[in-house]
Structure 1
């Protein structure tokens, strides 16, 4: 219910603002909101050639392309004059994201189809893990901890192994593997959900822990920083880990208090201590490496572990081929069945993702998001917050809505202020310290047709705020 109303508010307010801007004269056309593409120039007015300044008119007439560009610099958008059919079109600034119709197309071609491919492959592997008995063994081993965190889940339930793989994939920055494992976990949890259209306690806890974004190896962030010329691309790794870990603990405490979980459980405390020890141990190892060693380690660890999981699954399935025979199938046929289920899941979530991304597209291109972010930055600056921090806030504000959009702001901030600036580093921490909340909710709850997400959205947004505040303090402490 909350998600539905929030979606309607974004949609209706964005459309209303677009119409208001058109009739008030603040914008010349709304075609870009419907048909424009990201980074396209925005048409701000049209004039007859006799109505423009003489020096621009002369420059256009001398140009073979009948085009004149002024204000060409690295910080400000160019103003471009294009003469065609007796009219000079004036463009200034660029579009922040794809319009409504291009978003519909790109959601299918650039997001859903690749996601379906990932789902097909990893769901095929999951089928092998199930039939071979690996998932059952993993569930038994972790049940003492998981039954404390998820008291409504029966002991040794298959969802435990799926959630474990999802958390591990997120932990290691394996986004392509995390989503299929997570969707499989949601499907498994839905089987024991007594109210099929309403999120269960276990599903809410899983979603909030997943969305808190605990990441050990921020591979993509390190790659962006290296491309931007950072002197030490991996120097944000520790702040990212600290920020995302605090976000995860906050999510666990908030949901745990709501669900009345026993925080004094010995197995729960032991599990938490093991996790902290693992993080500290890896950090100590990475800390003693030189720059080249850090870059090599962070760029290869995640990929190596993913390859190891694939090899282990295939070899173990081969060794347990008898179990596949007992199930009247083969290893390959079982993989195909799992892959087919992954494709079906991708088709199911497509409408949910489309509806959310179209609303976000309207929100950004209407100009409403920019106004709100400027207000927030202005409020922070009046509170004495430094400009280096306020310049990074657009990444934090857009992150819950769009990973691609916030990534664009991240790259822009590093290009504008420098990868080694406070703004560039803080933007990097914002980007890796949380998930894209609305996208995650649309994908995960949409995959099992849950309409009432209860307090999941509010909790996830609260955790996002906690991560933003933590990132600011951590970045100020380190840099």
Structure 2
């Protein structure tokens, strides 16, 4: 346990160092987009919807564009791009926060939507399955989409209950209905493709969208005669400063997670769940993938490591039931405690209110949905 605490403290700083470059890049690009007017355009498009979910925000506030960029990156499974975009959104929301050490309603709604982890194209998971020489690479596409959709709905509903937001408003229903129709259409299209085509389209589509975003930001900046270089440098400096602020919060969170794993507590929880389900005569095949589900709310890298262990285990492999379910677990929820520590820590929030409760509701819904869907599709 002592060794784990020291190794995780070192790993925390290593993670931040690796993150600095990505954060500097994307916050620089976001600043170019902000100065060029791209973020305002996004805010106007999704403003009516976000104004209902975030009633305390001014109309077309810049945070709406930042939040939409973050959620879009998450939908594409682009974790490295999503984190700096999310931090930018949290900083924009903090400017409107009256009590700087206490999470506002808008910050909690954004955090829970982020941690619910709606994933349309799980690029990174598909890549890991290809590397593990899976013969059914893209079979997890539909289950992940369905599990994350239920997780996001649960998170949205739970926060709305706390904040007394009317989800039956015509504007909200119109946007959610359009999104649902879009997902249904995407599923219909993907159902006509082979597994190799789905993998290729998913990877190419995610990279193409990111590339088009960068090109669009640059084009708008040039059109408004913005000094792109200086604008990028100004935003990039913020990325470095934010990364430094995160370190204490990240060290505290990852050390706690490392000690929890090293103590054997996780093994005890998994063995207890397996024994309980066996006692009542229920199928326990899902238990082999549970380490991924239990680690995901705590640490994305820990959950990824647990998933890869199952992939490389000769008793399982990427195409076993445990391997497939672990893939769905990995894509069905976000790292709630890690995201909370990083996003709130970056702006100095220590009073999180009901953010953890709503985040865990979304996570638990995603886990249960993943198990049920996996039995439906793979068992």
Q: Sort the TM-score into its range (normalised by shorter chain).
A: over 0.9
Which string of whole-angstrom CA distances, capped at 9 and with x for unpartnered residues, describes residues 403-440 of structure 1? 12222221222333132222111111111100111111
Q: What CA distance in whole angstroms lies between the structure 1 residues aligned with 2:296 and 2:282?
A: 20
Number of the residue aligned with 2:2: 34
User: 1:435 aligned to 2:340?
Assistant: no
Which string of whole-angstrom CA distances, capped at 9 and with x for unpartnered residues, describes residues 363-393 of structure 1? 1112222222221222233233323111111
Number of the residue aligned with 2:369: 470
Number of the residue aligned with 1:308: 212
Q: What CA distance in whole angstroms lies between the structure 1 residues aligned with 2:145 and 2:302?
A: 22
Q: What CA distance in whole angstroms lies between the structure 2 residues aligned with 1:298 and 1:380?
A: 37
Query: Which one has the bigger strand percentage?
Result: 1
Q: What CA distance in whole angstroms lies between the structure 2 residues aligned with 1:404 and 1:210?
A: 17
The answer to whether the 8 A contact 2:336-2:359 is kept is yes
The answer to whether the 8 A contact 1:243-1:470 is kept is yes
The answer to whether the 8 A contact 2:270-2:287 is kept is no
Cα offset, 1:212, TM superposition: 0.3
Name segments (4+ residues, structure 1) moved above 6 Å: none
Q: Equivalent residue of 2:68, what SS?
A: helix
User: 1:392 aligned to 2:360?
Assistant: no
Number of the residue aligned with 2:298: 401
Structure 1: 5+ residue stretches without partners: 1-32, 36-98, 325-329
Which of 72, 75, 81 in structure 2 is aligned with 1:168? 72
Which string of whole-angstrom CA distances, capped at 9 and with x for unpartnered residues, describes residues 189-247 of structure 1? 11111111111111111100100010011112112222233222000110000000000
Within-5 A mapping of 1:411-426:
411-414=308-311, 415=313, 416-426=315-325
Number of the residue aligned with 1:367: 264
Structure 2: 5+ residue stretches without partners: none
Q: What CA distance in whole angstroms lies between the structure 2 residues aligned with 1:412 and 1:120?
A: 32
Query: Which one has the bigger helix percentage?
Result: 2
Bigger RCO of structures 1 and 2 (CA < 8 A, at least 6 apart): 2
Within-5 A mapping of 1:242-257:
242-257=146-161
User: 1:101 aligned to 2:69?
Assistant: no
The answer to whether the 8 A contact 1:377-1:393 is kept is no
The answer to whether the 8 A contact 2:298-2:336 is kept is yes
Q: How large is the Cα RMSD of the aligned pairs?
A: 1.3
Within-5 A mapping of 1:72-221:
99-109=4-14, 111-221=15-125
Which string of whole-angstrom CA distances, capped at 9 and with x for unpartnered residues, describes residues 441-477 of structure 1? 1000001100100010111112211111111111111
Structure-2-length-normalised TM-score: 0.96
Structure-1-length-normalised TM-score: 0.76
Cα offset, 1:318, TM superposition: 1.3
